[in-house]
Amino acid sequence: MAKHAPLTRERVLAAAVRVADEGGIAALTIRSLAQELGVRPMSLYHHVPNKEAIVDGIVDAVFAEIDLPPADADWRSALHHRAHSARAVLRRHPWATAVMDSRSHPGPATLRHHDAVIATLRRGGFPFALAAHAFSLLDSYVYGFALTEAALPFEPGEVEGAVADFLGQFPAQAYPHLAEFAREHVMQPGYDHGAEFDYGLDLILDGLERRLAP
C-alpha cells in the first residue's frame, strides 16, 4: 500500500482550499478535511487548532494568489492589473469573496498585499484620506462584481438562451423597459457581462484621477 505524504500545515491548507472550492465554506469541517486528506480528524490538530485557524490560512492562501500591484508601473496601471488578478482569483475561489476581509488574524500574504496596495497609492501621490477612499472603493467594486458573477444562473456563453427563457416567464408588456433592454442589448451577438468589469473599473480610476489632480 502506498504511504500518504507526511501531513504538514501547507498540505492541510491546500486540501482545505479544495474542499471550499467544491462545496463552499459551509462544507469545510474538520471531518470533511480529514476525509479529503485520508487521515483521522484528530491528526489535523497537530497542524491547525480549529476551523477558524483553517479559514485564516486559506484566506491568506487566496491573497497569495493575487498579483501585487507592479511596483514599477504608474498607480493606475498597477491597480488595474491588481483588480484583474483579484477578479480571476475570486472566480477560481468563489467562497473567498465573502470572507476576504473578515479575519481578525490576517496572515503574511494578506498583510503584504494590503501594504503593497497602500504603497502604490502613496507613490502615486494619494493623500491618506484619498488613499483610504480608493482602497475601499476598488475592493468594494472587485468583490461585488465577483459576487455577482458567482451568483449568475448561467455561464457566459449561455446568456442569450437564459435571457430568452427569463423573458418568457412574464408578459413583456407589463415590464416594457426590461424587455426592450434585454432584446436590444443583452441578447445581441457578442454581449458579454464580463466586459462590464473593465467599464466600471475605468470609471472608478477616472474618478480617482480627477480627485488626485491639483
At 153, is the secondary structure helix, strand, or coil? coil
Q: Do 29 and 104 belong together in one domain? A: no
Domain-embedded: residue 59: no
Q: What is the pLDDT of residues 11-32, one digit of tens each?
A: 999 999 999 999 999 999 999 9
Q: Do 100 and 203 belong together in one domain? A: yes
Domain that holds residue 137: 67-156+192-212
Q: Do 82 and 118 belong together in one domain? A: yes
The pLDDT assigned to 166 comes to: 77
Q: State CA 64 to chain mean position distance.
A: 12
What's 147's domain CATH number?
1.10.357.10
How buried is residue 67: exposed, middle or buried, by Cβ count under 10 Å (0-12/13-18/19+)? middle
pTM summary value: 0.89
- How would residue 112 be classed by pLDDT, with cut points 50, 70 and 90? very high
DSSP 170: S
